[in-house]
Structure 1
Amino acid sequence: MDLHWFDQLYLHAHLIIILCVSVGLIYLFYNIYYKKSSSGTTKLKLPPGRKGFPLFGETLDFILSLRSANPERFITERMKKHSADVFQTSLLGEDIAVFCGPSGNKFLYSPSNKNVTSWWPRTIAKIFFQPDVNQSFGEKMVKTLGHLMQFMKPESLQRYIPVMDSMAKDHIHKEWSPYKEVRVSPLSKKYTIALACRLFLSIEDPKTVAEFTQPYDLAIAGVISVPINLPGTTFNRALKASKILTEKIKIFIRKRKMELEENKNSGKMDLMTSMILDGMTEIEIIDKIQGFFVASYDTTSSLITLVISYLAAYPHVYHKVFEEQMKILKSKGERELLNWEDVQKMKYTWCVACEVMRLVPVALGGFREATSEFTYAGYTIPKGWKLTALYSIFEQLIWTPHSTHKNSEYFPKPEKFDPSRFEGNIPAPYTFVPFGGGTLMCPGKQYARFETLVYIHNVVTKFKWEKVIPNEKFKYILGPVFEKGLPISLVHL
């Protein structure tokens, strides 16, 4: 999922061009930003910070911090230099106000906050959602998240835990047990996409699942690519992959509609069927299925991979997880599957997952857009704040877990891996936000929790393992990605 050569060439060429024209553009920016104040209009007190190079902003430094698996460096350096509350920057042409600390998280997550609304990168909108002149992308996301929240309710998900366990057992038997060495990252992705296909579309055939996997990998890679739609670019491949996925989902929708009309559905009540019965249009169903796949695929597989990595690095933690999971296993019948009550007993295992997410968030953050001018921490965030250069774009707001997750004020010895910090302790409000916070908590949190715990249960009760590359590095693409896919050697129990 590395940046394609064209994207790399584009970034470097872009930087060279920027260096050549920066003097003229800086002069242009100076006139745009300060013209009103010189003519007698009161100058706004904007958040401190710098925009970096015109057009390109501070993107290069941000990319370097991601490639070094140290995305918090970009945040913490600017918090120290500019403000621990909010600062401004510019990334890939987007002017961004970065809100920091629990107060910033609380402000952006407050349901009564009418000054901000959800925003997603334009690449996501173009890749994963169908154009609709009657509905904005933001409106589509609100509806999609609403349906996702209904589907992802704990009481709704309870009935899927045995399905998760059955599929995990089959997956481990076929993909892990025959081998002495495996690569965790691609295997965890194989499981999460197969589970999504099963629960969302009732797809069980491995060949059909595989037909979804490659296009989704290409589409997700395009989310963080340079949005240049030319043959050979990552973004172009992502758009083509999205069209393939759209056509595949259309086929399943039309087939399911026909089955329902002919009473041949055999009692299937997956997500797609429920949306058809709710009277949704084909475009609406495709959009929501695409959104659900994005939400359930990449981040959960990253969390599973990271937990397995940390368990290999900390044998005493593995031992505690092993004891917890074996106790649950011994309480079950020989062929009895996991259920809701079993998952609730996996308390320490979830503490491990939480500590992993504190140290290595599986998502970089989320975005909001200013819908009206407001004041925060003594600074003004203007409505529709625009950067006028080659094109105009709205000012965006970003929340980031890095401003609190590794802050010693909230987590003593923040660099230490210590799952016990979550045992019986609830972090201060808005300090631990891997899934967001408040009423704007990610609706997929429980789905990710169940899926992760069930998978780890099946791995831990079957194997011990060691890393083949003890200090294997990872970098951030859409989330953390191990360079070699985390190969491990297995000891069968």
Structure 2
Amino acid sequence: MDYIYSSFIVLISFAIPILVKLLSHRKRLEKEKLLPPGTSGWPFIGQTLEFLAAGWNGHPEKFIFNHIKKYGSLIFRSHLAGSPTIVFCGPDANKFLFSNENKLVQSWWPDTINKIFPSSTQTSSHDETINLMKMLHSFLKPDALQGYIGFMDIIAQRHFVTHWDSKDQVTVFPLMKSYTFALACRLFINVEDHDHVAKLAGPFENVLRGIVSVPINVWGTNLNIAIKASKLIRKEILTIINKRKIDLAQGATSFTQDFLSHMLLTSDENGSFMKETDIADKIMALLIGGDTASSACSSIVKFLAQLPDIYEGVYKEQMEISNSKGPGELLTWDDVNKMKYSWSVACEAMRLAPPIQGTFREVMTDFVYEGFSITKGWKIYWSVNSTHKSAEYFLDPEKFDVSRFIGQVPQPYTFVPFGGGPRMCPGKEYARLQILVFMHNLVKRFRWEMVIPNEKLIVNPMFKPEKGLPIRLYPHSK
């Protein structure tokens, strides 16, 4: 009897783990059945190269629409930037993600970002992101930016005198990067000296190329070059921070001078201040983020060259403003708010060529969306082009049609170049100002034509002209 009992106990001890494992396996299989359709692609790299290649060829939307067609679903599974990823497409998905920010999903960046900005792995990046967004919204709100329009106009005028005037031909995209970077340096760290800006600009270009790249850190790769460049920039910004702290202590500068002073003097709800290394990384990220307007400005120049009737509308509006100004009088907030047609042109340019193609989120807790199981820890990628380039939301989506933004607004959650919800880009109003100030100073000086008539726009990592957009200039003064 004891033998039988002992044998039963041994059998049970073996059977229970096996049964638990089988039930767990069955549960996992049932859960996997609810995953969105898709594929993990190649080992390690997943579908990252395919995703990037679509942008390199000038059609980032093809990766999205090919998968939507293949799986018959606006939600599909992939493997991007080194992580299992669910791609969300369409306005309903946009609304869902934007409204559930910091509830079901939170901001997430690929591992390349963590390697370039190492402080993000050493602190609570989620809490810091929320605090940073609060500071940015406060610093970049329209009321606060009104006082910066004059210096934006001054920097734009200096830019054109230095790089455009007296030239027969220029290459637009590198000049746009120079313009937007100079503005960002002034706004965020109060650096205006041309040599100092140029010293920072070169390494920043290397950092930008490494942000959206294959996450392989070996010598010669874009990521490796970006990491080295970030160390140089961080060292330079820390020098600026140390000097600024001395100036603030001595009363030689003010709280509103730039965003760096704002960060140094603003504590969180617990009375704690950000570490200097964290501030340096956040400033780097902001300078990079400010660079997105270079993509929009370049696209606008391209479309205005190709569409003379649109150019005439912008020219008429801007000259009415220019003719109302006295000699040496700078642009004002009221002037910018009169540029309604020009902003409609800019919006249509950003619909066709959005500077940011989408961003990643991380799933905070298991949830079900459209019948699919979305698992905690997975990544979500939401796509701008899934609505911008869809005929369902924009009739004849490949056509430049400025009327889409005149006297009407697109269907909610379809035009999202700045994102939406709590994570909507806090620099939206800043981007609007720098784009319109640029357009004003450009069209009142020149007409132009493209040297390469059919030059296409490619994504790497933002939309940009494939050959830099060389143009011939025809000054109005002549």
* Normalised TM-score (structure 2): 0.89
State whether structure 2 residue 186 is matched by structure 1 residue 206. Answer: no
Residue in 2 that maps onto 1:290: 284
Query: 2: CA distance between counterparts of 1:280 and 1:113?
Result: 21
Structure 1 runs not aligned, ≥5 long:
1-31, 385-394
Q: Is the 8 A contact 1:202 1:268 kept in 2?
A: no
Compared with structure 1, are the counterparts of its residues 38 and 440 closer, same or farther at alpha carbon in structure 2 (3 Å cutoff)?
Answer: closer
Matching of residues 135-174 of structure 1 within 5 Å: 135-174=123-162
Q: 1:383 to 1:281 in 2, by over 3 A?
A: closer
What is the DSSP-based 3-state SS (H/G/I as helix, E as strand, rest coil) of the residue aligned with 1:37?
Answer: helix
Deviations 1:20-46 (A, max 9, x none): xxxxxxxxxxxx999812898665411
Moved more, 35-44 or 210-219: 35-44
Name 2:6's counterpart in structure 1: none
In the alignment, which residue of structure 2 is the partner of 1:86?
75
Cα drift, residue 267 of structure 1: 8.7
Contact 2:101-2:422 at 8 Å conserved across structures: no
Would you say 1:468 and 2:462 are equivalent positions? no
Residue of structure 1 aligned with 2:310, choices 314, 317, 320:
317
- Whether the 8 Å CA contact 2:82–2:110 is kept in 1: the answer is no
Q: Is the 8 A contact 1:58 1:89 kept in 2?
A: yes
Counterpart secondary structure, 2:119: coil
Task: Indicate yes or no: 2:84 matched with 1:95.
Answer: yes
> What is the deviation of 1:383?
1.6
Contact 1:36/1:42 (CA < 8 Å) preserved in 2?
A: no
Relative to 1, partners in 2 of residues 1:320 and 1:76: Cα closer, same or farther, differing over 3 Å?
same
Please tell me whether residue 125 in structure 1 is matched to residue 108 in structure 2: no
2:264, 2:388 → 1: CA distance?
A: 41
For the pair shown, the structure with the greater C-alpha radius of gyration is 2
Q: Secondary structure at the match of 2:170?
A: strand
**Deviation of residue 273 (structure 1)?**
1.8
Aligned residues: 450
Q: Which residue of 2 aligns with 1:116?
A: 105
CA distance in 2, matches of 1:172, 1:189: 13
Comparing 267-276 and 182-191, the one that deviates more: 267-276
Q: Give the Å deviation of 1:67.
A: 1.5
Question: 2:389 matched to which residue of 1?
Answer: 406
The aligned amino acid for 1:228 is I
Residue among 33, 36, 39 paired with 2:25: 36
Separation (CA, whole Å) in 1 of partners of 2:101 and 2:232: 40
Give the direction of change, closer, same or farther, for the CA distance of 1:87–1:348 in structure 2 (3 Å limit): same
Distance in 1 (CA, whole Å) between partners of 2:331 and 2:116 is: 37
Q: Counterparts of 1:53-452 in structure 2 under 5 Å? A: 53-111=42-100, 114-130=103-119, 133=122, 135-265=123-253, 269-278=257-266, 279-297=273-291, 299-384=292-377, 395-452=378-435
In structure 2, distance between residues paired with 1:72 and 1:181: 32
Partner of 1:366, secondary structure, is strand
CA distance in 1, matches of 2:185, 2:52: 32
Q: Is the 8 A contact 1:189 1:301 kept in 2?
A: yes
Asked whether the equivalents of residues 148 and 292 of structure 1 are also in contact (C-alpha less than 8 Å), the reply is no
- Cα 1:259–1:107 change in 2 (3 A) is same
Moved over 4 A (4+): 32-35, 38-44
> 1:117 corresponds to which letter in structure 2?
Q
* Structure 2 Cα separation of the partners of residues 305 and 169 of structure 1: 17
The 1-side partners of 2:423 and 2:282 are apart by: 18
Q: 1:79–1:85: 8 Å Cα contact kept in structure 2?
A: yes
**Which deviates further from its counterpart, 85-94 or 448-457?**
85-94
**Residues 2-22 of structure 1: CA distance to partner in whole angstroms, max 9, x if unpaired?**
xxxxxxxxxxxxxxxxxxxxx
Conserved in 1, the CA contact under 8 Å of 2:31 and 2:373? no
Aligned residues of 1:435 and 1:445 also touching (Cα < 8 A): yes
Name the CA distance, whole Å, in 2 between partners of 1:113 and 1:293. Answer: 25
User: 1:387-431 CA distances to partner (integer Å, 9 max, x unpaired)?
Assistant: xxxxxxxx2101111111122222111121111111011111101
Determine the structure 2 residue equivalent to 1:4.
none
Identical-pair percentage: 46
Residues 352 and 419, structure 1, Cα contact 8 Å, conserved in 2: yes
Q: In structure 2, do the counterparts of structure 1 residues 415 and 473 end up closer, same or farther at CA, with 3 Å as the change threshold? A: closer
Aligned-partner residue type, residue 355 of structure 2: V
Which whole-Å CA distance do the structure 2 matches of 1:485 and 1:36 have between them?
Answer: 54
Q: Kindly tell me: are residues 129 and 338 of structure 1, through their superposed partners in 2, closer, same or farther at Cα, counting changes over 3 Å?
A: farther
Q: What is the CA-CA distance between 1:217 and the residue it aligns to? A: 0.4
Amino acid at match of 2:417: P
3-state secondary structure, aligned to 1:105: helix
**Structure 1 equivalent of residue 17 of structure 2:** none
